Structure 1
């Protein structure tokens, strides 16, 4: 299993309860929630990946169960991995998801790749 389907359901439920429109995609070997065509959160194996405001990044990684995302082997400021210790309780999960949701309007969308036509 590339990602925890129970975590996917918990994240989706949070967005549905808040009436947040999202698109979900399988990518990076996990399951990613896109809001306004921007990556907001994802589920990678048994962890949540959240895109949070870089201004609170250093403070956030001091919290239990939160660590910098190092998908490429390099710390990515503004992206964190959240293990069970950070998201086991619903209130804790909602805290992190709300941080990601709050940052989403400020986040830059990825550049669309042009498809090559033959």
Structure 2
């Protein structure tokens, strides 16, 4: 599990500032932040491209706009991209205001997101 601790700290600070009820979990090759027991966002170091990615779970309309951007990658799945999940390349969230934009989209969608099925 590879991720940049400074980036994880930036995400933690944002979530704490927003008063989000969250915990961390190692997942998807990095670290994710679960808000209200639902995956909200995360970060990982992508060894293929050699940079830190921000994982965002966002609503349908934000997803459709996001995947048109050059700094956004749909989250791959075996057959097709995972709905509502995108990776933001490092250039798209280096500045705090850019990171806050993406994380706010994640928090806005969280109440509408479905929780994972318990195993």
TM-score computed with the length of structure 2 as normaliser: 0.88
> Which residue does 1:33 correspond to in 2?
33
Q: Does 1:48 align with 2:54?
A: yes
> Which residue does 1:98 correspond to in 2?
104
**In the aligned structure 2, how far is the partner of 1:94 from the partner of 1:66?**
15
Cα displacement (A) at 1:71? 4.6
1:32-79 Cα distance to aligned partner (Å, 9 max, x none): 100011000011211110000023212111234112111546311210
Instruction: Tell me the secondary structure at the aligned position of residue 15 of structure 2.
Output: helix
Asked if the contact 1:64–1:85 (Cα under 8 Å) also holds between the matched residues in 2, the reply is no
After superposing on structure 2, the runs of 4+ consecutive aligned residues of structure 1 that deviate more than 3 Å are none
- Counting matched residue pairs gives 113
Pick the aligned partner of 2:66 from 60, 64, 87: 60
Instruction: Tell me the secondary structure at the aligned position of residue 109 of structure 1.
Output: coil
**In the aligned structure 2, how far is the partner of 1:15 from the partner of 1:8?**
11
Instruction: Tell me the secondary structure at the aligned position of residue 6 of structure 1.
Output: helix
1:93-112 Cα distance to aligned partner (Å, 9 max, x none): 00000000000000000000
Over the aligned positions, Cα root-mean-square deviation in angstroms equals: 1.4
User: Could you list the runs of 5+ residues in structure 1 that have no partner in the other structure?
Assistant: 114-118
Cα displacement (A) at 1:7? 1.0
Cα displacement (A) at 1:27? 1.6
> Which residue does 1:7 correspond to in 2?
7
Asked if the contact 1:41–1:97 (Cα under 8 Å) also holds between the matched residues in 2, the reply is yes
Greater CA deviation, 31-40 or 2-11? Answer: 2-11
